[in-house]
Amino acid sequence: MRSIWNGSISFGLVTIPVKTYSATDRTSSVSFVRIHEKDGAQIQYRKICELDGEEVPNEEVGKGYQAPGDDTIVPITDDDLSRLPMPTAKTLSILSFTDPDEIDPLQMDKAYYLGPNGAAATKPYVLLREALEDHRKVAIGKVAMRGRESLAMLRAHDGALVMHTLLWPDQIRPVTGVAPDDVELRENELTLAETLMDSLGELDPAELHDDYREAVEELVAAKLEGEPVAPAAPGTSGAQVIDLTAALEKSVRAARGGGEADAEAESASVTPIRGRKTAKKGEAERGAAKKSGTAAKKATETAPAAAKKAPAKKTASAPKAAGGRAKSASTARKTASAGTSQKSTASKSAAPKSTASKSATKKATAKKTAAKQTAAKKAGKRSSA
């Protein structure tokens, strides 16, 4: 790391030679150059003299002081500035030690690391650092850097001394007209806000990074490779009227439960109407299939019953022919035999299908047997006569 200023720290009769290093790096932030949109060429800024309109080279550029509200410009040279009485030139003169809370963060300007300059400066450097850490104090003083005097705060940080240049009190603008008038707050709102503060926990600096810079770098890489630029994600408007208490409660739940709120929202999703129509259509198809199966079953059960009724009628006609027309016993036996064979065939075809057809076959067989016995008796009587 290259030092940008060499000076010393002075408190009482103790002087500590130090080297100054810039503590911040602004080169990593996003910066753009101005170009001519017509041809993409970069626009140059030239120093033009207002009197003759000619470009002025850097070696001819000097300093001048113009008082506020006055058009007169007074030239000031480096020799003029070097003759000014500036006791803080090249020295950070410590004026007092105070609590860090006494310094308004609005006054903080730039930060610099201070390191000991030489072996002789090591011990007083460490002594001042340890004293600031043990007493939890910061040092306030004045320092002149780069041609101007500034307030400065000195504190211990991570084993080193850090100097923050401060703005002068009159450089801080008043807050008049910025803050709102008195607003009435309810007790539960304040309690929820404090609970939310506690629930968010501590911040890990290692997790912080510049999302905007990364997005710009990805955009530039895509343009160089000729790839299409991804559309920006839709944003939400910040000017929304909300229920403050409800928003605080949801924020506390989200901070405590992590992703439980998202899971809860997903589980409470409503089934689309199209899904319901599809379900009803499926139920209708299943109902139609069920009705078709029932009809087929009924038709199957009706076929054996019809087959059973047809032989029964033929069998019933056999006894009538045997008794009414007084045929011979042999004819009656043949007829009865034919009826029996038909009954037997009907019974065999119907037997495997239902218990009711078996019962009907048994009844028909009993009737046939009774008719056979009656016909035999009549034939016997006729032959004896």
> What digits encode the pLDDT tens for the residues 120-142?
999 999 999 999 999 999 999 99
Q: What is the Cα–Cα distance from 213 to 219, expressed in whole angstroms?
A: 10
Say what the pLDDT of residue 218 is.
87
Say what the pLDDT of residue 362 is.
56
Say what the pLDDT of residue 25 is.
83
**In which residue are the tokens 């899971």 written?**
263
The one-letter amino acid at 52: D
Q: What is the Cα–Cα distance from 209 to 213, expressed in whole angstroms?
A: 9
Q: What is the Cα–Cα distance from 199 to 174, expressed in whole angstroms?
A: 34
**Rg over CA atoms, the chain:** 55
Say what the pLDDT of residue 39 is.
93
Contact by Cβ (8 Å): 150, 141: no
Query: pLDDT digits over 303-351, tens only?
Result: 444 444 444 444 444 444 334 443 444 444 444 444 444 444 444 444 4
Ranges in the chain, pLDDT < 70: 87-88, 232-242, 258-385
- Give the residue among 251, 271, 269 at the shortest CA–CA distance from 261: 251
Say what the pLDDT of residue 376 is.
57
**In which residue are the tokens 């139920």 written?**
283
Say what the pLDDT of residue 377 is.
59
Say what the pLDDT of residue 234 is.
66
Please state the three-class secondary structure of 24-93 as a single string.
Answer: CCCCCCCCCCCECCCCCCECCCCCECCCCCCECCHHHCCEEEECCCCCCEEEECHHHHHCCCCCCECEEE
Say what the pLDDT of residue 345 is.
44
Say if pTM beats, i.e. exceeds, 0.75.
no
Say what the pLDDT of residue 372 is.
60
131 burial level (CB within 10 Å; 0-12, 13-18, 19+):
middle
Say what the pLDDT of residue 350 is.
41
Say what the pLDDT of residue 320 is.
41
Say what the pLDDT of residue 81 is.
78
- Give the residue among 383, 384, 377 at the shortest CA–CA distance from 332: 377
Distances (CA, A) of 319 to 52, 251, 363, 375: 148, 98, 15, 8
Q: What is the Cα–Cα distance from 267 to 29, expressed in whole angstroms?
A: 42
Q: What is the Cα–Cα distance from 376 to 322, expressed in whole angstroms?
A: 10
Say what the pLDDT of residue 348 is.
44
β-bridge partners, 145: 148
Say what the pLDDT of residue 279 is.
42
